[in-house]
Structure 1
Amino acid sequence: MFHQLRVSAVEPLTDDAVALTLAVPPELREAFRHTPGQHIALRRRTADGAEIRRTYSICAPAGPEPVVRVGIRLVEGGEFSTYAFKELAVGDTVEAMAPTGRFVLEPRAGHFAAIVGGSGITPVLSIAATLLLREPTARFTLIRSDRTVASTMFLEEVADLKDRYPDRFQLVTAVSREERQSGLPSGRLDRERLTGLLPALLPVTEIDGWYLCGPLGLVAGAERALRGLGVRRNRIHEEIFHVDEAPATAATPPPGARTPAHTTLTATLAGRSGAWPVQDGESLLETVLRARADAPYACKGGVCGTCRAYLVAGEVRMDRNFALEPEETDAGYVLACQSHPVTAEVELDFDR
């Protein structure tokens, strides 16, 4: 469900990024109280009636009074980011879903670390700030990569954490497109570089949780580096902020998979169930949307996880998955936007 929220602040972060703060009315405070690391879906309706949805992570610390502040970077050709960057002003209203997402850290004692690239800093800023504020013994190491210093989002907020918690917050920065007088040499933080760098910075296998966020290449390289250094998979948490378009063969069924000629999808959503035929080539989310406009989704690219549903019965194949952790897929959860039927009867539960 979307709610109308008023824009209370628009703050420039860089030449191509802004921080947008949305005022939460008293009756929605409970709904918009977030766990550090969660995101919200924003919706805009264009003049011709088209609907544009995008997800943005909340960068504000979590607290009893919800503060919905998101960082938005201008993307070339991006309809919503262009609108937010060039048109949105204080006093305007934006349609927003309540916070969701499982790239989270409930504050607890321990040493945690993050490897982020570009706008991947957004959820990690909320995670680190909340953790250090609530847990006096907790420590956090942030390793961030950006194109240039001028393109770095939330410079002041991260500097404030370093000043406020000098003994508990460690910051390591790298830029890929300019030389610096201090810090790491310029260049990308790829698998090879991280494999050599990380053991020199901190006790890699003793970290209680690793949080990887940013473009697919950085996250995938960081995961391979950590696994190669002996980090257990259940201590690695990932969120992708951008992936290229799916390859043309993504929808091709794997060997042995059979797509039935006629499939019926039964789905439960907001306490109501219905059954509909799956049309040729469409995803299960598209099937539901033909009958239920309130079906949850944002990116439709297998990245945000908004359309997560529990597979009650039947079998499906997913084109790709950048949102669900292995334990979630093992437990039976799928991304409806990427799922296609393998059996003649499929049942999903969006409420579970």
Structure 2
Amino acid sequence: MAAPRFHQLEILKVRTETPDAVAISFAIPHELEDVFAFTPGQYLTLRAEIDGEDMRRSYSICSALTERGHRTVGVKRIAEGRFSGFAQTLKPGDRIEVMPPQGRFTAEIGGDHDYLLLAAGSGITPCLSIAKSVLAGEPGSTVTLLYANRNSANVMFRDDLNDLKDRYTTRFTLVHVMDEETQDVDIMNGRLDAEKLETLAKLRVIEPKSADAIYICGPEPMIRSASAAMATLGVDEDKIRFELFTPAPGARPAPAKTNGTAVNGAAINGKGQGAAVEIILDGSRRTIRVDASADTVLTAAQKAGLDLPYSCAGGMCCTCRCRIVEGAATMDENFSLEPWEIEAGFTLSCQARPDTEKLVLDFDAQ
């Protein structure tokens, strides 16, 4: 299968959600409908040249599967965020490069489910797509959403959420948790942390153990805290799902070494000698030199003028996932590959540094 490629899409609509967040809808031409087919919870990678620099960022789709002809993402401005600031200036009629949907934080539609969604801030975006799609596509399913914000002014997609409440009165439960704004019910005030979740479970506001799956999206500390709380409440690990795009400061997983199916290359002796890295991409092969002391495979490929697929470049999104066919490499960080994937020989080119004099990477492998 070919690696994902960017397509130029026209912006159909830009809607202000909060003073620092917008919803951007892209028109999907009929001939690209299949290319941009998605599973609720996936994201789009946007690409633009900003101040002369090629920049890419991933934003979760917040559309329902029933919404045809467009895909919508939510973008919240972050401090010193060059791309999020740029996104606030976009307007209908502008065109921007967009990569087809990717991501594993997904909910397949079909059957009957009881889902618990825990979101904070802009983490509402994939949860909104899941809630909309499940409620519309599974008549027997229920969704409970806990949505944490500093105050009501920061609530993204308020109209969409209210519409879901009105349309699915018996199947959709929405609970707002505010950190800096007092609500009538005291338990709904404060942070959505482990203590809060355990209290809500005791009061039976939420029933995590009976949920078919629990989706958690927000800042990294909230995800870790909520995941720990679910485990404490007896939820099976395989029911807890989350996805990281921005790790907390200082959060660094241990380096992970990955071997190919045939480790024929000799180990690199010393720094600066470099390795011959053969890239298989879209059925073609090209060899570049990678000095592991200075570059990852991705940064070396960029210097060589080779356009590899990537998005976050931080080991979190899996866009640059590839399989080691020959040789071995060590990743600086890995927030996204599962243990079975590493065992099967997959690595992330944005984090991989060659350990052998020859390394063959297949970006077409699935």
Normalising by structure 2, we get a TM-score of: 0.87
Q: Residue 205 of structure 1 corresponds to which residue in structure 2?
A: 209
- Per-residue CA shift, 1:193-231, capped at 9, x if unaligned? 323323523332231111111110011111111122222
- Per-residue CA shift, 1:284-334, capped at 9, x if unaligned? 222333345431111112222211222334333333333334454454433
Q: Which runs of structure 1 show a deviation greater than 6 angstroms over 4 or more consecutive aligned residues?
A: 249-254
Q: Residue 113 of structure 1 corresponds to which residue in structure 2?
A: 116
Q: Residue 287 of structure 1 corresponds to which residue in structure 2?
A: 300
Q: Residue 197 of structure 2 corresponds to which residue in structure 1?
A: 194
Match of 1:40 among 41, 44, 64: 44
Moved more, 72-81 or 279-288: 279-288
Q: Residue 334 of structure 1 corresponds to which residue in structure 2?
A: 347
1:105 is aligned with what amino acid?
A: A
Report the Cα offset of residue 126 of structure 1.
Answer: 0.5
SS in 1 for 2:83: helix
Q: Residue 172 of structure 1 corresponds to which residue in structure 2?
A: 175
- Per-residue CA shift, 1:56-78, capped at 9, x if unaligned? 11101024834211101011211
**Long gaps (5+) in structure 1:** none
Q: State whether residues 172 and 183 of structure 1, in contact with CA within 8 Å, keep that contact through their aligned partners in structure 2.
A: no
Q: Residue 264 of structure 1 corresponds to which residue in structure 2?
A: 276
Report the Cα offset of residue 252 of structure 1.
Answer: 7.6
Report the Cα offset of residue 39 of structure 1.
Answer: 0.7
**Long gaps (5+) in structure 2:** 258-266
SS in 1 for 2:13: strand
Name the CA distance, whole Å, in 2 between partners of 1:329 and 1:155.
Answer: 40
Normalising by structure 1, we get a TM-score of: 0.90
Q: Residue 101 of structure 1 corresponds to which residue in structure 2?
A: 103
Say if 1:162 and 1:253 are closer, same or farther in 2 by CA, change over 3 A: closer
Say if 1:296 and 1:313 are closer, same or farther in 2 by CA, change over 3 A: same
1:220 is aligned with what amino acid?
A: R
Report the Cα offset of residue 244 of structure 1.
Answer: 3.9
Q: State whether residues 214 and 241 of structure 1, in contact with CA within 8 Å, keep that contact through their aligned partners in structure 2.
A: no
Name the CA distance, whole Å, in 2 between partners of 1:300 and 1:107.
Answer: 30
Q: State whether residues 34 and 66 of structure 1, in contact with CA within 8 Å, keep that contact through their aligned partners in structure 2.
A: no
Q: Residue 324 of structure 2 corresponds to which residue in structure 1?
A: 311
Q: Does 1:133 align with 2:136?
A: yes
Q: State whether residues 12 and 92 of structure 2, in contact with CA within 8 Å, keep that contact through their aligned partners in structure 1.
A: yes
Q: State whether residues 118 and 145 of structure 2, in contact with CA within 8 Å, keep that contact through their aligned partners in structure 1.
A: yes
Moved more, 115-124 or 60-69: 60-69
Name the CA distance, whole Å, in 2 between partners of 1:198 and 1:90.
Answer: 44
Q: State whether residues 147 and 178 of structure 1, in contact with CA within 8 Å, keep that contact through their aligned partners in structure 2.
A: yes
Name the CA distance, whole Å, in 2 between partners of 1:239 and 1:101.
Answer: 8
Report the Cα offset of residue 242 of structure 1.
Answer: 2.6
Name the CA distance, whole Å, in 1 between partners of 2:305 and 2:42.
Answer: 25
Name the CA distance, whole Å, in 2 between partners of 1:209 and 1:61.
Answer: 19
Q: State whether residues 72 and 81 of structure 1, in contact with CA within 8 Å, keep that contact through their aligned partners in structure 2.
A: yes
Moved more, 30-39 or 316-325: 316-325
2:286 is aligned with what amino acid?
A: G
- Per-residue CA shift, 1:147-168, capped at 9, x if unaligned? 1111011111111111111111
Match of 2:8 among 4, 7, 13: 4
Q: State whether residues 44 and 95 of structure 1, in contact with CA within 8 Å, keep that contact through their aligned partners in structure 2.
A: yes
Name the CA distance, whole Å, in 2 between partners of 1:52 and 1:21.
Answer: 20
Q: Residue 81 of structure 1 corresponds to which residue in structure 2?
A: 84
